[in-house]
Each structure stands twice: as structure tokens, then as C-alpha cells.
Amino acid sequence: MTVADVLGQARAWLAQDPDPATSAELATLIASASNGEPAACADLEARFAGRLQFGTAGLRAALGAGPLRMNRVVVAQAAAGFAAYLREQIADREPFVVIGYDGRRNSAVFAHDSAELFAGAGVRTVLLPRLLPTPVLAFAVRHLGADAGVMVTASHNPPDDNGYKVYLGGADGGSQIVPPADGAIAAHIARVAERPITELPRSGAFEIAPESVIDAYVAATAAVAPAPGAAAGMTWAYTAMHGVGWETFARVLDAAGYPRPALTTAQLEPDGTFPTLVFPNPEEPGALDLAYATASAARAEFLVAHDPDADRLGVAIPDGDGWRRLTGNEIGLLLGLRAARAAAGAPGAALACSLVSSPGLGAIAERYGLDFHETLTGFKWISRAPSLVFGFEEALGYLVNPDTVRDKDGISASVALLGLAAEARGRGLTIANLLDEVTAEIGVYRDGQVALRVDDLSVIGRITSALRADPPTAFGDVPVDRADDLAAGGTDLPAGDVLRYALADGSRVIVRPSGTEPKLKVYLDVRGADAAEAQARLAALEAAVRRLLETLA
């Protein structure tokens, strides 16, 4: 594509952009590129080299002008294209969509634009009454019997990002979209994009959801684990990470009967700039430092953290003079054991996790006579596991109440965790003791991750292509027994850009590009006769993976 081609596309985009901020940004870039400035030309080409496509969690990108950024033009095209898809699929009546949004920059604007465009396209549209957690939107799709849902959020991504998650009701049960629906919606969006968004019909005839929807979510979530008597006097701490979780979570705590936590007040209110955080993700180093200070001052028994849209749960426990953040797998196995004990003996009941999450969940399912399903990454797949009673993925996502929410839900998972902590407290135990109980039942599992963040996505493609062309035969001193390329098919999972290696000592290495961030992720799982052996195997495997990536990058 020549500079002249890119400039032509950029000028056409500018003519339809209703946002003063992105219009000014693009106009400046066009002027600079027209004068031949290399950086401006490269920036424009990066914005107009294609279109955002539905990934693991829908559309997600940095805010900015152009079809490869999140902005009002992209959102308008997405809403109109999705509306056209719904009208095509539901031809005998008026389709029904519900829309939610969080506290990120432009989330409310994108949600209101979407509501006007859905209504203008002849789709009954209900907008949630204010910024709310993603799980409330996922709940509302099922609770209201909607045909579809849209949540404007970028979850735990950097502050400059935003996104657009799409759910389907009916036979899909309120789960996020999967193929072939994503491709069909993308085709409709592409057709919409052939004309300016100024020509798309809009209407203010959309509804605002009543408070009874949020009331119903609060009641259903509080019922996940009503507080036992041992919860009285329990001391714990909480951070919302500048997200939207606290208002709803507080109501759930009161309804379930749990004591209020010590609050990390500097991070309690929604703020899309995330002023106290470099990266608003409970998994990131330093993200919980303020919360640790709160927990220490309160002499808390444990700490709970939600990511900005409250669909993820982070947990930390005292560790010597400091705090230890539990891994996503540790939390998942705690909650999985809870679910397995409750479901034991139920015909067909199943546990599920993504293929990059701990194989320990399969061991729990086997121990309690439950079915087990391993899926591709993302709750759009986990939530569709047959007869599901619990599902999780290692990136702090947990589904504990599939009858009401078919997506990860950090609030309901928190209630389940609080119930476990309170019951343990009644036995004179801590969360650390509960982790020991998991190990006693299924053995010692350890996991790790190596992540390579890139500025140039072609680096990721180069590495995965090299691994496919010349698969590793060993990681360090441990031979590879089997290598699977899920993109090539031939496994029990749908095709995906995933490479999986089974090692001779029972360890596992899985390589996949992130679906939400510009990085390559390598997931490591080991099992040992005891903690020391498992940790040694994990350290050796991590070192071998790092050496391999350095060679290929």
C-alpha cells in the first residue's frame, strides 16, 4: 500500500469521524505524512493496514483514529454490522440486545453510540443504567432473555485501551461469540464500512434497564455462598483497582452476610486513567502494592482484588512479613475442589478449564467422579462445556455459577472464596491450609509462565513459524514425547494458534499468542513427588524456554 493510498483512506476516515479528539489526532498525522515525515507515514500505515478482528475477548485495541484502533467510527461500524447480523438471524421478530459499559475512557460514549445505532437498525435495545461490571451485563443477557449483549470494556488492559465484547443469547445461553458467528458478524461489519457512518440510521428510542436487573444479579450472586457463622469477625482487604467492582460487590457482601473489608481507598472509585497503577491487572508485578499496604495495616487474613471490570479475581495471603499473590491455577483448584465436592454424585456434572490451565482440575474431576473438559483459551469456549458446574482459566478467570452467568465473574468467585475462607476459619485454618488440602488430595502441581511482550507483532509470527518448521525435541535435558500443532487440526480441540508439547517427565509446555495483548505466552506445568522436586522441575523448564525464545526472537 503506497503512502498516497494510506492518505486517501485516512482522509475518507476523517470526513466521517464524529469525535473531536480522534479527528484532531488524525488531521495532524495526515498533515505530517503529506509532508513526507517517516514517523507519521508509518503511524498511518499501522492504523490503516487492516481492520480489528474478533479475538479471544472480542474487539480490543488502543484508543485512536483508524480501523485498527478503538474509536467511535469502529464502534459504529461494529454496532451496525452486529445489528445487521441479528436482523438476518432473527427475521420473524424484532431482535433484542442489552448493552453495558465500564469506567474506561470513552466506554459510556461507545455504549450510547451503540444503543442509538441498534435502535436505528430496528433492534430492541436496553442500555444498563450506569457503568457496571462485565458480569452484570453477562447476567442481564440471560436474565432479560436477550438475543445478544454488548459490553464496552478492555478489562485489565493498559489505560489507553478499550474494547467491545459480544454475547449471544438463545441457544448460546449468554456466552461470548465463537465461530462461525464471529466471521459472519465481521462480514456484516465489512459491508457496513463501505459507506460513511454518517449514513447509518440512529434513534434515541432505546430503553434504560431497571434497577431490578442489578437487584437480581446481587441476589443470585449472594446465594452462591451465604456467610457461615464463622464469617463474623473475619478481617480481609479489598481493591477495585480503579474499576467498577466495588458498588456491586458491596451490595452482594451485605446480602450474603459477610463483613465489609478494609478498603484500598485510593483505588476504590472508577478512574479510566488508573492513576496509581502502571498496568491495571492483578497479575502484574507491583499492581497490588497499595492493596498489600492496606491489608498489612488491617492485619488482614487475606486480600481480594478485582480487575477494572470485575470479571477477574486476584487473591493474596500473608507470607512471612509480606504477602504472596496466589496464582490463577491455585485459586482455580481451590474453587474447583469446592465445586467438585458439591457436585459429587451428580450424573454428568463436569469441570472445565482452558488447555493452558492446570491439569490438576482434571485430577480433581477424576477423584470425584465428574466429567472433565479441556477447551481452547477464553470463556467463550469454557462456558460452552456440557453440564458445566465450574470452569476456570489461569488468567484469574472463574465461572462458579453457570446457571446465571455464562462468563467469568470475579464477584461471584469472590463470594465462593469468602465462603471457603470463612468455613476454614471455623476449623481454625487459613487459605494456605486449604491449598495444602488440595495438594493432599491430588498431589503437587506447579505452574509458571514466560511472556514475551513485543512492539512488532511480526516477531510473534516469526517465532511460532520457526517452532512449526523445526519443533523442539527437548526442553533442557527433558525430551519431548509429543508435539501438537492445534492450527493443523487432528486433536480433540477446535483449530487454534496453539503449540503444545508433552515432555517425558510429565511436564507440559504450551505456546500461544495472547488474544488481548501484544505478547507471546508460554505456559509451563509440572508435577513432582513433593514441592521441592516440582519447583526444581519448573525452574529448569522455565530456563530452557527462555533460552529457546532468545534464540528465536
> Helix 360-367 vs helix 328-343: angle between axes, to the nearest 10 degrees?
10
Give the domain extent around 16.
1-49
Establish if 196 belongs to a structural domain.
yes
Same domain, 517 and 397: no
Distance between CA atoms of residues 193 and 416, nearest Å: 44
387 is catalytic: no
Distance between CA atoms of residues 476 and 99, nearest Å: 50
Instruction: Using the structure block, give the residue that is written with the C-alpha cell 513459524.
Output: 465
**What's the pLDDT at 428?**
97
Same domain, 379 and 486: no
Establish if 323 belongs to a structural domain.
no
C-alpha dist (Å) from residue 48 to 7, 20, 64, 520:
9, 19, 12, 23
CATH number for 408: 3.40.120.10
**What's the pLDDT at 492?**
74
Establish if 88 belongs to a structural domain.
yes
Same domain, 314 and 391: no
Cell triple for 43: 503511524
Mean pLDDT of the chain: 95
Same domain, 385 and 397: yes
Cell triple for 351: 469441570
Of 314-328, 366-380, 419-433, 480-494, the one with minimum mean pLDDT is 480-494
Average pLDDT of 236-240?
98
Q: How far apart are the first and last CA of the chain?
A: 27
**Candidate list 23, 114, 155, 354, residue with the active-site label:** 155
Same domain, 60 and 193: yes
- Concatenated DSSP letters for 66-91? STTSBSHHHHHHHHHHHHHHHHHH--
Same domain, 59 and 164: yes
Same domain, 465 and 377: no
Order of all β-strands in the sheet with 508-513: 444-453, 519-528, 508-513, 499-503, 478-485, 474-475
C-alpha dist (Å) from residue 255 to 247, 409, 419:
13, 17, 13
Same domain, 333 and 308: no
Q: Is 227 exposed, middle or buried (0-12, 13-18, 19+ CB in 10 A)?
A: buried
What confidence category does residue 494 fall into, taking pLDDT thresholds of 50, 70 and 90?
A: confident
Cell triple for 163: 474494547
Of 318, 344, 376, the last residue of a domain is 318
Give the residue from 450, 445, 431, 482 showing the smallest Cα distance to 358.
Answer: 445
- The neighbour count for residue 371, using CB atoms within 10 Å, is 17
58 with 15: CB under 8 angstroms? no
Same domain, 268 and 233: yes
**What's the pLDDT at 54?**
80
Distance between CA atoms of residues 373 and 303, nearest Å: 30
**What's the pLDDT at 455?**
84
Distance between CA atoms of residues 195 and 513, nearest Å: 33
Is this model's pTM higher than 0.85 or not? yes
Give the CB-side neighbour count of residue 194, counting CA atoms within 13 A. Answer: 6
Give the DSSP letter of residue 525.
E
Query: Is 490's pLDDT higher than 80?
Result: no
Same domain, 403 and 495: no
Split into its structural domains, the chain has a count of 5
Give the residue from 339, 267, 262, 275 showing the smallest Cα distance to 302.
Answer: 262
> Which pLDDT tens digit goes with each residue over 303-355?
999 999 999 999 999 999 999 999 999 999 999 999 999 999 899 999 999 99
Same domain, 86 and 147: yes
Distance between CA atoms of residues 371 and 172, nearest Å: 21
Average pLDDT of 189-200?
96
Establish if 508 belongs to a structural domain.
yes
What confidence category does residue 56 fall into, taking pLDDT thresholds of 50, 70 and 90?
A: low
Query: Is 253's pLDDT higher than 90?
Result: yes
Of 193, 209, 225, the last residue of a domain is 209
527 with 445: CB under 8 angstroms? yes
Counting runs of H as helices and runs of E as strands, what totals does the chain give?
Answer: 17, 22
> Which pLDDT tens digit goes with each residue over 495-528?
789 999 999 999 999 999 987 778 999 999 999 9
Establish if 264 belongs to a structural domain.
yes
Same domain, 58 and 203: yes
419 with 425: CB under 8 angstroms? no
Establish if 91 belongs to a structural domain.
yes
Distance between CA atoms of residues 228 and 540, nearest Å: 43
Establish if 117 belongs to a structural domain.
yes
Of 442, 464, 490, the last residue of a domain is 442
The answer to whether the Cα torsion of 261, 266, 267, 271 is positive or negative is positive
CATH number for 501: 3.30.310.50
